[in-house]
Amino acid sequence: MISGTTSALALYHSLEDIIPKREAVMAKNPTIKKDMDYFKRAVKEVKDPEDLFKDYRLLKIVLSAYGLESEINKIALVKKTLMSDPDDINSLVNKMKDSRYRDMHKDLRLDLGLTHLNLNATAIDLEKNLISVSVEKELDAQAPGIRRAINFKKVADKGDIDTAYDLLGNANLRDVALKARGIPIELVRADIDTQGRTLEKHFDFDLFDDDPDYVDKIIQQYLVNIDIENAQSANNTASFASMLLGATDGFGLNIEANLLV
């Protein structure tokens, strides 16, 4: 493993014990407290859904609660998705493959106005989400890859993986799937139909809903491969450092001595 990290697979097997403890600590995080204080104040000033999209910090807090903080500069897309009609099969929210967008839409229902946004229960759920997302980021810093594994399991447990295109439409799910089966990332350069057919050869999508063990095996294989990559990276880094520390700079001076000066 890379210095300062641990086995992603080992951590995955301990999540049931670790996550509740980490979340209890994270609940006291001052940054989350400040964000939620701001949310509760700012949401009272929101007079129509449009106001949410004009308040950068407020919108970022909402997006962060769903792990979508990287979308903050895609305000037009976020707005169109959240304001779309879920009863229209052609609406954007129904076309979004990323289930996090659908979850956010379902919780906020901005297409109906501000009723859901102003509910105390919404603030409570957002805070829980912020805590959960923050813990996942913390765990991922400790064991790179674990956050994608957690997300994969969440989506699978909700029954949102029915076809190859459900995996391909979400970069996190796609990357877990490809790495679990040892499929080169270069597949994404192929046309979408070729990508779909390739995944259909490697996965039985009927089992995603019916067999939790099938999903778990996919995740574990992904994490095994992640651990191997991390170990190889650590070995390469150590070898490179050893080479540097044992080398001279071309002028007969030892680099290790120079580094220590």
Q: What are the sequence ranges of the domains in the chain? A: 1-143, 145-261
> In whole numbers, what is the pLDDT of the chain averaged over residues?
89
C-beta of residue 182 within 8 angstroms of C-beta of residue 226: no
Q: With bands split at pLDDT 50, 70 and 90, how would you rate the model's confidence at 221?
A: very high
Average pLDDT, integer, range 248-252? 43
Please write the tens of the pLDDT for every residue from 210-220: 899 999 999 99
Q: What is the per-residue pLDDT for 243?
A: 44
Q: What is the pTM of this model?
A: 0.81
Which residue in 106, 137, 151, 99 sits closest to 22, CA to CA? Answer: 137
Neighbours of 222 (CB within 10 A): 24
Q: CB within 8 A of 93, min separation 6: which ones?
A: 81, 82, 84, 85, 86, 101, 102, 105
Confidence (pLDDT) at 230: 83
Choosing among 2.30.29.30, 2.60.120.380, 1.10.3700.10, 2.130.10.10, the CATH entry for 1-143 is: 1.10.3700.10
Q: Which amino acid is at 107?
A: D
**pLDDT tens digits for 79-98?**
999 999 999 999 999 998 88
Question: What residue type is assigned to position 203 of the chain?
Answer: F
pLDDT at 240: 42
